[in-house]
Amino acid sequence: MKNLIISLIIIDLASAYRENFFDSQQLPYHSLPLGSESTFHWRVEPMMGMIEVEIHYVSEEHSWFAVGFSDHGDAKSSDYCVLWIDWRLTVHFHDAWANEAGIIQIDHHQDCNEFVWKKSSFENVTKFAFTRKFDTCDDQDYIIERGTTHIVWSKGRGPLSSLNGLNVISDSMSSGMSRTELLRLVIHERPKFSDDTWRFAILSDQVRVPDNETTYWCRVQRLPPILKQKHHILQFGPVIQRGNEHLVHHMEVFHCATSVNVIIPIYNGPCDSEDRPQTTQMCKKVLAAWAMGADEFVYPKEVGLSIGGERFNQFIMLEVHYNNPEYMKGVIDSSGIEFYITKTLRKYDAGVIELGLEYIDKMAIPPRQKSFELSGYCVSECTGMGLPHNGIFVFGSQLHTHLTGTKVRTRHIRDGQEISPLNYDNHYSTHFQEIRLLPVPVNILPGDSLITTCTYNTLNRRNITLGGFSISDEMCVNYIHYYPNARLEVCKSSISDDALRTYFRYMRDWENQHTDFNKAISTSYKNIEWTKLRVAALHDLYQAAPISMQCNGSDGTRLPGLWDNVAVPQIKSLQSPVVRKCPATYVSHHANNIDRLL
Ligand SMILES: *[C@@H]1O[C@H](CO)[C@@H](O)[C@H](O)[C@H]1NC(C)=O
Ligand SMILES: *[C@@H]1O[C@H](CO)[C@@H](O)[C@H](O)[C@H]1NC(C)=O
Ligand SMILES: *[C@@H]1O[C@H](CO)[C@@H](O)[C@H](O)[C@H]1NC(C)=O
Ligand SMILES: *[C@@H]1O[C@H](CO)[C@@H](O)[C@H](O)[C@H]1NC(C)=O
């Protein structure tokens, strides 16, 4: 309670609290804009298993404010903490739940605790704070997990006669949804930077942000001549133009990874414009990825990301995704990403390995599926060939699917035993992609196998979804960031041709479908009319069929080995499910949905 009251004052002095948190044992505060007039601040208390939240918003007199947690961002069917004022002008704070229609019911168990409230008389800003356990053991509450959390909010006019019956959508004046990684459990103990470290910002240049909901802006730039010499990136983070915090949704910096002499046109415009030169499509190797609500990314102390050098193409491209749901007009923006760079190289170059499925039409997701799973494998023969004797340490991970992905998980198997997952996100969204630091670096040894499983929701698609590069195609990838740099760069799989041929033959001979393996695979998939049985047969096929491995080195060649018709890794013992610490009186329906925090 004391902390919360102090924090109400501290947060006003943004710079002061940033300096203070290193003195205390607590994890730092983070902030997330919720639209242009409110912000969500929070701090994680891992030992207590809870978060401290503080909301600031511009209010009218007696207005109510609801903030909550939602599985995939829908404001309805969500868990809320609501501040409201009754007609006697008493201030209330309740733990509540909105049903499919958005109508609020107060929970039987009240789990939005330690409420503090403060109204600033001169700025019309109201602030309130509360604490919330990750898992309240109440089935009416959302379980806060590792990975993405969708924060929903809405506010409206008061006073209210009662909270029950309020509609969070139709009774609100404004509402919205923001995504963040809420449970940030990494303690940023900033490694020492060498004295010659300098800062290098890659910014957009006075972009007139369109009054469209979504804009992707691309700007190609040439690196400064000093980067003809190899350097290390030690950190990267956002530089957001003041006042535009709610508009800059995510940013990525891509390297135009092609021959050193290729000149890329200095394009500056919408990424999807017809005027965008074709050669800029080569700028797709990710150097940095940041999304709203994320902090800076700091490399571990012995590691740096290599940039520059004699054979390094000198062009990079900044992509900024502007999200403007309030259709603001005339906003000018020069936000971007700032790197900390040094020529004093650290011991290790960071490396990236791509795990998951090959993005080709052998991967397919039938239409009208609520949750269809596909897995990509990195088998022990491949890690055995491609990793050094002591293995590698994975410190970061970027999960990646396109529009229909809802969950991603990479499982880790050693000697037939499943150990803690490498990374997972049970509330994944393609619109919230960042390179995330893992709570602790994970050691992967030669001979380990990794299984990346993606879950897709195609309920609103009428046709089959196939693997591919286009945004309406799908992918299932985990880019892992690690050291020391190893030979292996791609460890992905697809179903073996033989198994797929057998399935298409079965569909033709027994189910009268127009499948034909001599035509394009996509044609056969598209010709199947998807019944429950045919979907189930495809699912079973993907579970059991042998695979074809892409086990490639960083020079683009295949590592020696037999990579066709490989058996999928066998798991002799599964990781035991996590036991929730809940009183026996609670009957739980969530038991299978929660994961380890670490
Ligand atoms: C605060 O609200 C009052 C009444 O709604 C309004 O007249 C005033 O301009 C507001 N002040 C600020 C600083 O927004
Ligand atoms: C904004 O939207 C309009 C209408 O959809 C479109 O014509 C225009 O190109 C968009 N502007 C940008 C910069 O994307
Ligand atoms: C679905 O497939 C049909 C037939 O190939 C095609 O005409 C239609 O445009 C597709 N629909 C969508 C939404 O892609
Ligand atoms: C792996 O290497 C082979 C041989 O160079 C190449 O044909 C294939 O496209 C590569 N696969 C991937 C996924 O890069």
Q: Which residues line ligand 4 (CB under 6 A)?
A: 358, 490, 492, 550, 552, 556-558
Could you tell me if 265 and 297 are in contact, meaning their C-beta atoms sit under 8 angstroms apart? no
Ligand 4 centroid distance, CA of 407 (Å): 27
Is pLDDT of 332 > 70?
yes
Instruction: Please tell me the predicted confidence (pLDDT) of residue 28.
Output: 78
pLDDT at site 132: 95
CATH topology of domain 354-553: Jelly Rolls (2.60.120)
Give the tens place of pLDDT for each residue, 353-407: 999 999 999 999 999 999 999 999 999 999 999 999 999 999 999 999 989 999 9
Give the pLDDT score at 586.
54
Q: How confident is the model at residue 155 (pLDDT cuts 50, 70, 90)?
A: very high
> In this structure, which ligand is nearest to the CA of 210?
2
User: Taking the model in full, what pTM does it have?
Assistant: 0.85
Q: Which residue is catalytic, options 216, 514, 539, 590?
A: 216
Q: pLDDT per residue over 176-229, tens digit each?
A: 999 999 998 776 567 899 999 999 999 999 999 999 888 999 999 999 999 999
Ligand nearest to the CA of 355: 4
Per-residue pLDDT at 25:
53
Answer whether residue 22 shows pLDDT above 70: no
- Whether 591 has a pLDDT exceeding 50, the answer reads no
Residue 24: count of CB within 10 angstroms of its CB: 10
Range 474-491 average pLDDT: 93
The answer to whether 483 is a known catalytic residue is no
538, 529 contact by CB (below 8 A): no
Superfamily of domain covering 2-187: Cellobiose dehydrogenase, cytochrome domain (2.60.40.1210)
Q: Is 79 helix (H, G, I), strand (E, B) or coil?
A: strand
Q: Which of 24-38, 143-157, 495-509, 542-556 has the lowest mean pLDDT?
A: 24-38
- Note the pLDDT tens digit of each residue in 542-555: 999 999 999 998 77
Residue 586 bears catalytic tag: no
Reported as type and span, the H/E element at residue 456 is strand 449-456
Measured distance CA(31)–CA(53) in Å, rounded: 10
Domains of the chain, residue spans: 2-187, 198-349, 354-553
Average of per-residue pLDDT values in the chain:
89
Distance CA 401, CA 313 (A): 28
Q: How far is the CA of 124 from the centre of ligand 1 (A)?
A: 6
Confidence of residue 597 (pLDDT cuts 50, 70, 90): very low
> What is the CA angle 537-543-546, rounded to 5?
105
Q: What is the mean pLDDT of residues 542-569?
A: 92
- Residue 176 near residue 249 (C-beta atoms within 8 A): no
Q: What is the pLDDT of residues 43-68, one digit of tens each?
A: 999 888 999 999 999 988 899 999 99
Atom of ligand 1 nearest to the CA of 60: 5
Between the CA of 212 and the centroid of ligand 2 the distance, in Å, is 6
What architecture (CATH level 2) is domain 198-349?
Sandwich (2.60)
Residue nearest to atom 10 of ligand 3 (CA): 463
Tell me the pLDDT tens digit for each residue of 68-116. Answer: 999 999 999 999 999 999 999 999 999 999 999 999 999 999 999 999 9
Which among 217, 239, 247 has a CA at the least distance from the CA of 320? 217
CA–CA distance, 349 with 340 (Å, rounded to integer) = 15
Whether 354-553 and 198-349 are alike in CATH topology: the answer is yes
- pLDDT score, position 593: 38
Identify the helix (H) or strand (E) that includes residue 424: strand 417-425
Tokens of 154: 């809405």
Give residue 323's pLDDT. Answer: 86
Measured from the Cα of 463, ligand 3's closest atom is 1
Question: What is the spatial distance between Cα 108 and Cα 491, in angstroms, rounded to a whole number?
Answer: 49
Q: Is residue 407 within 8 Å of residue 565, measured between CB atoms? A: no
Q: Say what the pLDDT of residue 585 is.
A: 61
588 pLDDT band (50/70/90 cuts)?
very low
* pLDDT at residue 293 greater than cutoff 90: no
- Residue nearest to ligand 1 atom 8, measured at CA: 124
Q: Is the CB of 120 under 6 A from ligand 1?
A: no
